[in-house]
Chains A and B, each alone.
Chain A
């Protein structure tokens, strides 16, 4: 190794050490031992099963009016071992704000409020569950500092007995977490039908990574719903165009993933035709996109993450046979439209009625046709 190579190595070591020591920057987490992975989670839905995972989580019960509030705190001495080792997630400070009826929301519904306005709206939809014991009405909304807090809304399956949110644990990876619940006061067998229970959980951003993925089980065994929470991303509906393609040739077709994070806690009802999303290319005020049909079909964008694969063609979708028209609008001699002119184009997402979110601007370079 030359002297310069050693210098680069030394600079790299010092910079990484500096980053690890910087305030507000998490040190590299220790490797986690994953318990399960998405889509293969075969854990029963009954909440009693997850109580086992609470080992090592210190629980402080705080009385406040007629509510019972649970705050997770630093762990006390671990007296029992568990192979699921929630080393990172147990440090998350989270507080259960509400547990009660879920209305029509199915098990697995997941959403989040990043602002006071979103939280107020969410709180207004809460309702007690007449079918379960131990859950009261919502009461007045608590004051929260949304500069440091995000409120998670989840619907999980319960068996009719009172349960308490008891914190989070890691699943696979350090930032993929799931809530755990405890039954602090056994009341005998709880053999009623599984019912949806909504929990509102305030998470202290300062005790988490800026990006975490929360997952909850759905009613379908082995299937989980996930939601990514990003501190710098307060928009409840986020749409991204995912592609690694930066250049295409005129006439090429390529696929782009339209990835949606719906954290509103409810499906988004939209109206389109054929498919909910389409893509076009725009340059110089001209939009090049396939024509839209005239039908009206309803599409529900589900809560959590969803991805729609859309095929985009770098080309014109029509031309005119009018001989007086100017090129490139005029059809070529063989009747086909002229190629797009080479240059930088903006990818334009064509969204269905009822869907307002827009992706960040993505550009793509169109090269001359690859002959």
Chain B
């Protein structure tokens, strides 16, 4: 596989993951820009990216850094009340979490990232990510009145 083919394969996998994460945490507009910035950086530093153990996590940091000055306030968009499968009080409850807790829980349970991937993305230890997720889930359960 050539470098170009490898990069294309990488984009196929990484772009939807980055876009989902950024869209949920930063909104559609900033999310699109952050994804573009991250992939543009990856394209320019492809040799470095290839050597990374978790390139998506690192690119999450790149995209976040490149768009750090953009205005944002969670939530960015609220699905209609009749959207299936979730309690309407979930979004306000997510909004009341700390940024770290919300980011960790959304990446883990909203995007399917592993704790290690989130740790790489947020420059935290894996145990810290676990703590943030556990506390966030506990807080959400209290606010939503749900059992485990």
Interface positions of B (Cβ within 8 A of A): 3-4, 7-8, 11-12, 15-16, 19-20, 23-24, 27-29, 31-33, 36-37, 39-40, 43-44, 46, 61, 65, 69, 75, 77-79, 83-87, 90-91, 94, 105-106, 109-111, 137, 140-141, 144, 146, 148
Contacts and interface: CB of A to CB of B under 8 A. Distances in A.
A38 interface: yes
B11 A31 contact: yes
A62 B145 CA distance: 65
Closest 7 CB pairs of A and B: A10-B85, A12-B110, A14-B79, A19-B28, A7-B86, A31-B12, A14-B83
Interface stretch (A130-138, A167-175, A183-191, A196-204): A167-175
B8 A33 contact: yes
B40 A7 contact: no
B119 to A, nearest CB: 15
Contacts of B46: 37
Nearest to A3: B146
Contacts of B83: 10-11, 14
A37 B4 contact: yes
Contact of A211 (B3, B37, B44, B61): B37
Contact of A4 (B4, B7, B146): B146
B37 to A, nearest CB: 7
A210 B32 contact: yes
B106 to A, nearest CB: 7
Given A5-B109, A18-B79, A34 B36 contact: no
Contacts of B32: 25-26, 209-210
Given A26-B32, A172-B43, A175-B36, A8 B86 contact: yes
Contacts of A3: 146
B4 A34 contact: yes
Contact of B11 (A8, A12, A32): A32
Contacts of A212: 36
Contacts of A4: 137, 140-141, 144, 146, 148
Contacts of B4: 34-37, 172
8 contacts: A8-B105, A8-B109, A11-B83, A14-B85, A19-B77, A173-B36, A173-B43, A210-B29
Contacts of B69: 360
A16 B20 contact: yes
B116 to A, nearest CB: 18
A8 B29 contact: no
B111 A12 contact: yes
B144 to A, nearest CB: 7
B77 A18 contact: yes
A12 B43 contact: no
B33 A210 contact: yes
A358 to B, nearest CB: 14
A2 B140 CA distance: 13
A324 interface: no
Interface string A23-61: 001101101111111100000000000000000000000
Contacts of A213: 40
Nearest to B107: A12
